[in-house]
Structure 1
Amino acid sequence: MKHLLNLLAAVALLVWGTHLVRTGVLRVFGANLRRLLAHNLSNRFSAALAGIGVTALVQSSTATSLMTSSFVGQGLITLPAALAVMRGADIGTALMSVLFSIDLSWLSPLFIFVGVVLFLSRQANTAGRVGRVLIGLGLMLMALEMVVQASGPMLASPVIKAMLDSVTSDILLEITLGAVLAVLAYSSLAIVLLIAAMAASHVVAMDVALGLVLGANLGSGLLAVLTTARSAIAVRQVTLGNLVFKALGVLLMAPFVGLWIRHLQPHMPGASEGVVLFHLGFNLIISVGFIGFTQWVAQAVTRLLHTQEANPKTQRPQHLDPSALSTPALAISCAAREALHQADVVETMLRGVIDVLRHNDLELSRELRQRDDEVDQLYSAIKYYLTKISREALGEEESRRWTDIISFTINMEQIGDIVERVLLDIEDKKIRKGVAFSDAGLAEITELHERLLDNLRLGMSVFLNGKLRDAQKLLEEKARFRDLERAYAHTHLGRLSEQSMPSIETSSLHIDLISDLKRINSHICSIAYPILDSAGALAPNRLRPVSSDTPPV
């Protein structure tokens, strides 16, 4: 029992080490790796080379698949180019398995020691994240050594031998088991290394090990499909096409396992090397041999999953890329882009208010009010996306940006709610009653509305660029808008005292409108506060100092 627990602990440590390396590399180099992918997609061969390089660094073809799928979902690359990237990604994973099959256990203490020192002393910067990667590499090397040590005593158990004998010579069961293990471990690399270590310790026979390797490759494709199951159809096409290639490769290579064992394995230095080189050979054959079929597979997958079936509205949000979550700085940028889209929808709603007011357009009013549902959905999506970003991996500036995005989306969501209520008021108090504003009253509301649109655009610029001067200008606009609102409320009361019939009929709506526009402007201007606060440009309060000899009011 003790030896079984030791083996399970070693497997868990191997999977955890792989996770640390993958997330650590993505956090440090994630943005650069995505640029590398994006800039090497001119043809299928350069795309495959980019896939090899990126996957060799992140040690996960699944992570590369998610990155590539997000590019297709955003319309940045074509499906055949994405499938070519995945052909290279599989080779990258196989190359890393060959590297880790070499006995590098002597490096494990060094990697862990240096990694812990860097992580604890420089946790908030790049050096700390590199330390995280070194810790992961050290744990992987230690785990592989533990697998070998724990496997030996288990061979003496009759129960283990009986279990292994039941798996022998059943290639379908071996493939299935390997696929399940890869999905559960979230890493085909970790499972292939585990299989190699167990083969070296004679825990599993060579024919069983090679069947498990085929299953691990199939499992990595299945894992990507499951991960993107709820994504846009364009994204799912990439992972499904990749799974098709892997399934074809397994069907092609399964009958030749016996030939490998008879003719090639005797020339291998050992069982472990035979497993990882079989894994490399499998991926080289399906990647190089099938790269010419990316166009055909893309067409077949496109016919199977029609992008036309997707409702354009359900494809939003498009910028909240799940694969970017492991790179916090990149994920923050994705959330900021989506927040600006939310602001664009709010601007559309706000711009349409004046048309509804002038032309009594009930149909336009209903359409604009429905856009508030989109604003609410975007707010929820952005908020949920931000909560999935690891806060401990954020630096001080990124953490502040995280807070700014949350604040911005809350303001946009509240502006959308106010605009919806304004439109309902216009429908109930003006259109259905058949009343009209006076020329002077409509001109005042129009001027406030135009100023509000200008402030919203300025607020979006402040959110995007964070310029102190623009933030100061936006706050100055708040005071001007407040003065205008008071002046127009006063002139409206003057028209009421003159018994102006249009002013009397629309008085309630007029006062509510200028009050609501002021509230919207306050939400817009609050975008400036974080920038001003971080620059120390905000006064503690707006109260003037009162001298002790001032008489009480």
Structure 2
Amino acid sequence: MSGSVVLLHLAGAVALMLFATRMVKTGVERAYGDVLRHRLRDTMRNPIMAVLAGTGLAIALQSSTAVTLLVGSFAGSGIVSGAAGQLAVRGAEIGSAIVTKLLTFDLTLLVPLCLIAGTIMFMATERRDWRQIGRILVGIGLLILSLEMIGQASEPLRDSQLMPVIIDYFSGDPITAFLIAALITWLFQSSIAAVLLMATLAGRGLITPELGVVLVLGVNLGSSVIAPMLTRGADAAVRVVPVGNLLMRGMGSIVMLVLFMVFRPHIGFLGATASDQIVNAHILFNVIILIAGLPLAGVVYKASEKIVALGTRPEPAESLQAVELSALNEAALDNPAQALANATREVVRVCETVEIMLKRIIELYEDADAEKIKALAALDDRVDRRHAAIKIYLAKVTRNVMTEDEALRCQELIGACVKLEQVGDIIVRNMLVHVKKKLDQGLEFTPEGWRDLSAFHASVLANARLAFNVLVSRDPAAARELVLEKDLLRDREKEASHSHFLRLRDGTSKSIETSSIHLDTIRDLKQVNSLLTSMAYPVLEERGLLRGSRLKAG
């Protein structure tokens, strides 16, 4: 078999492995993503639980990068602390390494079982949760099959005269091998896929254990770069956790490489075979980084904030008023399906503006000036203009003959637009007034009061993002979670109000001065949450999941 054919087969096997890994990841996200996110938010208050939560989520999603991005968004929204986010990512790296270890066992019998069961579950029902479980099973089967294909495709390389030369070169130049492994991992966008590939090749005698350890360290460097690259255009607060992971895992891999090159330790203790030694080296490295990361989580997060701040330019208030193009194409009015798609795009833009307003308003409670207040008010004007344009556009769409589903979607979009405008009005006409009052009178919240208010706002902001997703995806599971979150928020409101009244009873001067602002802000945020939650009702009602005004059990 020619070398080009061998490489073609190997590339195809690797491509299948990458596709299967992504298939499992998307299946888990679609079936259990909202539940996992919700559980993660609730369990990350405790450092140990943060590590365990990150580990479990990485095993479920088969991706430490996905967990890093998710935790980064939580930290950016203020839902979890930065230190807890760092620990969750450390746990995610352990979870990713555990998945790699599990996939090195002989699981060939699972291939037909997973493919058969997964295909039956996917094709025999229209239930979304069962179909996603079927997708997960098929993905697992294809992933195991791809590992067998990699082994078979690499078999001819044993007899290659060029392969020993390449291995000898990289064995003598560990820095180049380290960087190439990092590049491969970045291209794969998966440390699991990269380590499995190297372990499989090592099992065929194509990679020496010593070279494998160097490559594993390179894999960890490449994996730590992925999340910062994917979030380079995100808000500064979201980028802090990925940058912290780069500091710990990326710098750790470089330090470990230097130590390995200097001391040349014997690695026989890592396992009986070359593939075991490579996978176990991957696990050991991440355990060491976890142990080092426990006491350093807070320090690393602060250093990450400073690094992110160095590369972040302050956004001028005027940029919030940037003009955007409209998706309301008049030429599509004769095609209701296309016109509704255009209107959906425009409503999504309104959602984005409202999200910016909701995020900015809490920042103004801490640091406000006339220019920032003016810029936020200008955003409400933009919401009003888009709202009016969307209503007129949808009114023109209704002049055409529409199906029942199209008519319902049209009403749903109009209703969502009205609610978004009302949210904007609450932010500007109510909450911005509180900001001005606090600024004019020079008032300050107590640390406890501000913490309660920030946490309550973070919950509402998270629910807002979930509501916007429901508007686009119309996912009943996400809609149900949003309505359940409304009940949880009611409990949080009671707790925040109770804590506030306790401070008033104790006679805390700051609590007394800011009492009306505190309570009115909680009330306004609760009203915002109720408006956004109601955007889920059409999805639930369509599927018979509402009983009157109450959510059905199930």
- For Structure 1 versus Structure 2, the TM-score category normalised by the shorter chain is 0.5 to 0.7
Q: Does structure 1 residue 85 correspond to structure 2 residue 88?
A: yes
Within 5 A, what are the aligned runs for 1:105-120?
Answer: 105-120=108-123
Give the direction of change, closer, same or farther, for the CA distance of 1:259–1:151 in structure 2 (3 Å limit): farther
1:7 touches 1:151 (CA, 8 Å); kept in 2?
yes
1:336 touches 1:405 (CA, 8 Å); kept in 2?
no
> Within 2, Cα distance between the matches of 1:313 and 1:401?
38
Counterpart of 1:103? 106
Which of 27, 32, 52 matches 2:30? 27
> Within 1, Cα distance between the matches of 2:105 and 2:38?
31
Counterpart of 1:309? 314
2:353 touches 2:379 (CA, 8 Å); kept in 1?
no
Q: Does structure 1 residue 3 correspond to structure 2 residue 6?
A: yes
2:118 touches 2:138 (CA, 8 Å); kept in 1?
yes
Gaps of 5+ in 1: 317-331, 347-363, 381-396, 417-459, 467-526, 537-553
How far the C-alpha of 1:343 sits from its partner, in A, is 10
Deviations 1:367-421 (A, max 9, x none): 86664446679999xxxxxxxxxxxxxxxx9x999877655566789999xxxxx
Gaps of 5+ in 2: 322-343, 359-372, 390-404, 424-466, 480-534, 545-554
Give aligned pairs, total.
380
Give the direction of change, closer, same or farther, for the CA distance of 1:182–1:528 in structure 2 (3 Å limit): closer
> Within 2, Cα distance between the matches of 1:190 and 1:96?
10
Q: Give the AA of the match of 1:342.
A: V
1:116 touches 1:131 (CA, 8 Å); kept in 2?
yes
1:42 alignment partner, SS class: coil
Q: Does structure 1 residue 151 correspond to structure 2 residue 154?
A: yes
Q: Provide the alpha-carbon RMSD of the alignment.
A: 4.3
> Within 1, Cα distance between the matches of 2:388 and 2:68?
27
TM-score, length-normalised on structure 2?
0.60
Give the direction of change, closer, same or farther, for the CA distance of 1:20–1:232 in structure 2 (3 Å limit): same
> Within 2, Cα distance between the matches of 1:379 and 1:41?
42
> Within 1, Cα distance between the matches of 2:233 and 2:197?
31
2:109 alignment partner, SS class: helix
Counterpart of 1:228? 231
Q: Does structure 1 residue 275 correspond to structure 2 residue 275?
A: no
Which of 74, 90, 95 matches 2:77? 74
Give the direction of change, closer, same or farther, for the CA distance of 1:122–1:375 in structure 2 (3 Å limit): farther
Q: Give the AA of the match of 1:273.
A: D
> Within 2, Cα distance between the matches of 1:378 and 1:171?
60
1:56 touches 1:93 (CA, 8 Å); kept in 2?
yes
1:152 touches 1:203 (CA, 8 Å); kept in 2?
no
Deviations 1:273-318 (A, max 9, x none): 11111000000001112221011111111222238935689799xx
Counterpart of 1:342? 354
Counterpart of 1:131? 134
2:202 touches 2:274 (CA, 8 Å); kept in 1?
yes
How far the C-alpha of 1:340 sits from its partner, in A, is 9.6
Q: Give the AA of the match of 2:75.
A: V
Q: Give the AA of the match of 2:193.
A: A
Within 5 A, what are the aligned runs for 1:487-498?
Answer: none
Counterpart of 1:142? 145
Which of 180, 200, 204 matches 1:201? 204
How far the C-alpha of 1:202 sits from its partner, in A, is 1.4
2:88 alignment partner, SS class: helix
Give the direction of change, closer, same or farther, for the CA distance of 1:113–1:252 in structure 2 (3 Å limit): same
Within 5 A, what are the aligned runs for 1:529-544?
Answer: none
Q: Give the AA of the match of 1:144.
A: L
> Within 2, Cα distance between the matches of 1:247 and 1:366?
40
Q: Does structure 1 residue 57 correspond to structure 2 residue 52?
A: no
1:49 touches 1:88 (CA, 8 Å); kept in 2?
yes
Q: Give the AA of the match of 1:64.
A: V
2:253 alignment partner, SS class: helix
> Within 2, Cα distance between the matches of 1:9 and 1:41?
40
Deviations 1:140-197 (A, max 9, x none): 1111111111111122222333333332232221221111111111111111111100
Give the direction of change, closer, same or farther, for the CA distance of 1:269–1:342 in structure 2 (3 Å limit): same
1:343 touches 1:412 (CA, 8 Å); kept in 2?
no
Counterpart of 1:354? none
2:65 touches 2:226 (CA, 8 Å); kept in 1?
yes
Bigger radius of gyration, 1 or 2? 1
Q: Give the AA of the match of 2:294.
A: I
> Within 1, Cα distance between the matches of 2:108 and 2:539?
50
